[in-house]
Structure formats: C-alpha cells, structure tokens
Structure 1
C-alpha cells in the first residue's frame, strides 16, 4: 500500500497497533452525530469494536489511517470501486476533536484525490454527506467536489429526518 505524505498529514496503512490509539480517542458524541448517529445513541468505544475496526481497515487496500505528528486522528478510504467505470466512493472520519477545523481533513482528502486520479486513474469520486454536516461540506467543496443532488429524509437523527447530499468530483475537473 502506498503511503501518502502531505505537509502535516500522513496517510498510511492501518495496523493492529492503531486499535489502542483508536480506543483512546473514544466516541465523541458530536463527531459521531456528523456520521448520522443520534446523540442519545452514541456508545462508548469498546476494545472489541476497535480491534474489528483495525482488522477491517488493515485488510482493505484502499483504506488509510490519517496520522498527524505521529498520532492517529482518523481514517479515509475509497470503497465501492468500479474498475470498468473507473469510479469509487470516498469516506473520511476524523475522531480527534482537537484536530477539527485545522485543515487536516482537507489535506487528507487532497492526498487521496491525487492518488485516486493520478495513480489509480479513476475518473470519478463520489461522496454522501448529511446536509447538516457543514464542516465536511466546506472541506469537500474546497477540494473541488460539487453538490450533484439531494436525497431527502435518508437518516433519522435526533428525532428528525435528515437529507443526504450527493457530491462528486471528476478527474477532468481535478486535473485542470
């Protein structure tokens, strides 16, 4: 697996040692709320859950740990890859509250996009995001993603229905 290096972010393969770091980051209710988990449903992180997470990520050829200053702060991955159509979906999760709003996610996304479009020769990257996740939408837009549509009432979060936005970026848009 390719290690992707940026100015302050390093994307690398997830290892079994990351389970302990992921456990230490715990479950931040406001962060998991951005993933569509109701605040009342946010559960404490368990050792079993982080071991399963580390194993699953380590076995994926397109999943990277997001590392800053030698510390695990999140993950980013490509999934639902269609080789024939040269497209994939992207997912990112940051778990360290102290790293929010500091450009870490934006840099990680840019590193992944460069790899996806130049090395993997993909043509399209898509992403779904809850419409209320404004921080993520700003980062995706900054990286060139365009809102392509809205899927109404896809998630029931904190007692109300929420919409998903579908965003996409084409290699022709990225490489120009």
Structure 2
C-alpha cells in the first residue's frame, strides 16, 4: 500500500473530492451549522434552527483541516461549492485496512445521493489505488440516512457498540460497518 504524498483528486458523477483550499472558509461559513447535521455527527446542539457559522470558527476549522497531515482527507465540491468532507484514516499497511468518514455540511444537499456518490468514489480509490482489503466505519444507530447510504455502497453491519455516544442527554449505540475488497467489486 503506497499512500500518496499529496491529496489526489477524485470524481463522482456530480462531485469532486479535492485538497482543501482557502476559499473553503467561505464555503464553510455558507454551510452554517444545522442542528440535524450536528446530531448526526454526535453533537448536542443548543440551537433548534440552522445558524450561521461565524467567520472565526470557519477559519479555525480551515486551519485544522488544511494542516492535517493525512493526504486522504478531501474537501467535497458540488456545483463549484464546498459542501463537506470525506476521509480515509487509521491506515494499517500490514492489514491493508482503513476507516472511512464522510460529512455533508450543507443541509440543502442532503437526500440527493451525493453521500453515496462520494462514498463510492472513495471506495474505488481505496480498493483500486491503495489496494486496501477492508474499509470500515462507525455510525450512530439513529443516523438512518447514512446507514442506508453505506448499505447501498456495499457495507455490511458487523456489530453494535452499545451506548457509545452521549447525545442530547441520552446514550446511543454506534453501528459498526465494514466492506471488503471483493464485496466492492461492483463500484
């Protein structure tokens, strides 16, 4: 497994996965903070309606993602706008495995199949170029939209980590899912 030194560009039918760039700060401000999205990531928002993302928060976010040494951390661009991130992390060269995470931050872009397209593009790259054997993830059990996406992409539910996340003053389970290289051959 040879990990690239620079973030490679990936393409899905409608989205581009690319390195982060300074104008993504404006994109992150535009996406704002949506309470539904915050919950799906495991946060407990103290607001009920979408709120703007302050420029200073978006700038701090950009500083964190742009200095991330992981070359497999992508900005997701749709119709010329930043809308989220995807990444493979926790790479293990001996076992040829990695963990996957994706987050669409623009609530206007949820439910139109972009998560599936992005996930398929990352899986093609992970199994094709990186020659991984396994890619896995964890997702909150109540995040049914994401679970449906992962199932469409070939992930299999492998287990449940009970009461793994404390969200909105309640304990919630994490679903553990994985896909193997031979299961993803149809991507």
> How many angstroms does 1:141 deviate by?
0.3
> How many angstroms does 1:44 deviate by?
5.8
Q: For 1:93, which of 71, 92, 103 is the aligned residue?
A: 103
Q: Specify the alignment match of 1:53 in structure 2.
A: 61
Structure 1: gaps (5+ residues): none
> How many angstroms does 1:172 deviate by?
1.6
> How many angstroms does 1:6 deviate by?
1.8
Q: Specify the alignment match of 2:135 in structure 1.
A: 125
Aligned length: 176
Is 1:143 matched up with 2:153? Answer: yes
Supply the distance in 1 between the matched residues of 2:150 and 2:52 (Cα, whole angstroms): 28
TM-score by length of 1: 0.93
Q: Specify the alignment match of 2:37 in structure 1.
A: 31
* Contact map agreement 2:19 2:74 (CA 8 A) in 1: yes
Structure 2: gaps (5+ residues): 1-6
Supply the distance in 2 between the matched residues of 1:162 and 1:41 (Cα, whole angstroms): 20
Q: Can you list the C-alpha shifts for 1:39-86, whole angstroms capped at 9, x where unaligned?
A: 327886333332232233234300111111111111100111111111
Give the RMSD, CA atoms, in angstroms: 1.7
TM-score by length of 2: 0.88
Supply the distance in 2 between the matched residues of 1:127 and 1:28 (Cα, whole angstroms): 23
Supply the distance in 2 between the matched residues of 1:115 and 1:142 (Cα, whole angstroms): 17
Supply the distance in 1 between the matched residues of 2:171 and 2:116 (Cα, whole angstroms): 28
Point out the structure with the larger helix share. Answer: 1
Supply the distance in 2 between the matched residues of 1:44 and 1:36 (Cα, whole angstroms): 19
Supply the distance in 2 between the matched residues of 1:140 and 1:69 (Cα, whole angstroms): 23
